[in-house]
Amino acid sequence: MHLKNTIGKAVWACALVGAMAIPTLSPGLAKADSYPSERLNWTIAFGPGGGNDIMSRTIISILEKYKLYPGEIVAQNRPGGSGAVGWGFVHNQKGNPYHITSTSGSYITTPLKAKTPWSPTTFTPVALLAADDLVLLVNGKSKITSFDQFIKEAKAKPPAIGGMGAVNVDFIVPTLLAEKAGYKFEYVSFNKQGELTTALLSDALDAMVANPGEVAGLLESGDLRALAFSGKKAPESLKDIPTFGDKGYELGISMPRGVVLPPEAPKEAQEWWIATMKKVVEKPEWAAYVKKHELTETVLWGEDFRKFLAHSQEQFARVLKAKGAIK
């Protein structure tokens, strides 16, 4: 009797689980007008506390606060291999509109470094929301006070410019700038922001590139001096300095902070998310986030985002191949 009962329960349980599994297994079959009707899995490809984590959790809190997503949202950190683990996981959820992830700089560089089964353009793009752009800096006591002077000096004597990492936007940006402005320079790669900043403070380096948020305090105190900004529009704290574009050296690349769905996600899911993210970026919490982290608000939707990714990756690959960093 006991045994029979247990078996009966087991059968029931299997049936229940099976019933629940059907929609998950065939998401494409779900009715178009009923999306979204399930729990959303938000994968964060980095550990807690990093830039990607903070952005993802900011968006999730906006979605929850304004009830923009009807179901439950589960955020999970899947760090490892500079994003390879987390984005690899989302890549495996092919066609499933209930998985979503956020991108950052490694989204372009990691597939160039390691053999990942995905590239930035294989995912279903939703939106590019902001960009991490770089500011070109010199020591506050340096005799170089303007961008034009920097270029002039650089042509006379190649400067040593520091940045974070070799396969990174920190290397690409000064390289493209030097190409366009026609000077040579030595790139010095660092592993940790602290060592990079003190190398410039100690006058070992001639200049460096950094995210404005990371050096805001040192800029304010005058220990560092900003010369130019690589993005389209400088954040408020840097509004007095020119952008590369103002000086005629438009680079057109930056670190994309955006949102993507797994590859081959249904069209209606992509459209639903584009419409929803348009609401998110209008909320005051989003504006506060962009301001606090000194990001450049750069918004591109859907396929335009895919084109941006393709262009950025092409530029990265070209420069890195020329240097021999990748094959």
* Closest CB 156 distance from other proteins, rounded Å: 15
Alpha carbon distance 200, 238 (integer Å): 19
Nearest residue to 65 via CA among 325, 232, 288, 320: 288
d(CA 229, CA 58) in angstroms, rounded, equals 26
Residue ranges in 292-311 that form contacts with other proteins under rule CB under 8 A = 292-293
**CB of residue 104 to other proteins, shortest distance in Å:** 14
Considering the rule CB under 8 A, would residue 317 count as an interface residue with other proteins? no
Q: Residues 225 to 284: which contact other proteins by CB under 8 A?
A: none
- Report CA-CA distances (Å) from 10 to 2, 20, 22, 24, 292: 12, 15, 18, 21, 53
Question: Least separation, in Å, of the C-beta of 128 and other proteins?
Answer: 22
135 has which bridge partners?
210, 229
CB 118, CB 263: distance < 8 Å? yes
Beta bridge partners of 128: 258, 300
Total chain residues near other proteins (CB under 8 A)? 58
Among 23, 66, 73, 81, contact with other proteins (rule: CB under 8 A)? 81
Q: How far is the CB of 211 from other proteins (least distance, A)?
A: 11
The reply to whether 73 sits near other proteins by the rule CB under 8 A is no
Contact between 28 and other proteins per CB under 8 A: no
114 is a contact residue toward other proteins (CB under 8 A): yes
Within a 10 A sphere around the Cβ of 297, how many other Cβ atoms? 16
Which residues contact other proteins by CB under 8 A? 47-50, 53-54, 57, 78-82, 84-85, 110, 113-116, 160, 165-167, 171, 186-195, 197-199, 201-205, 213, 215-221, 223, 292-293, 320, 323-326
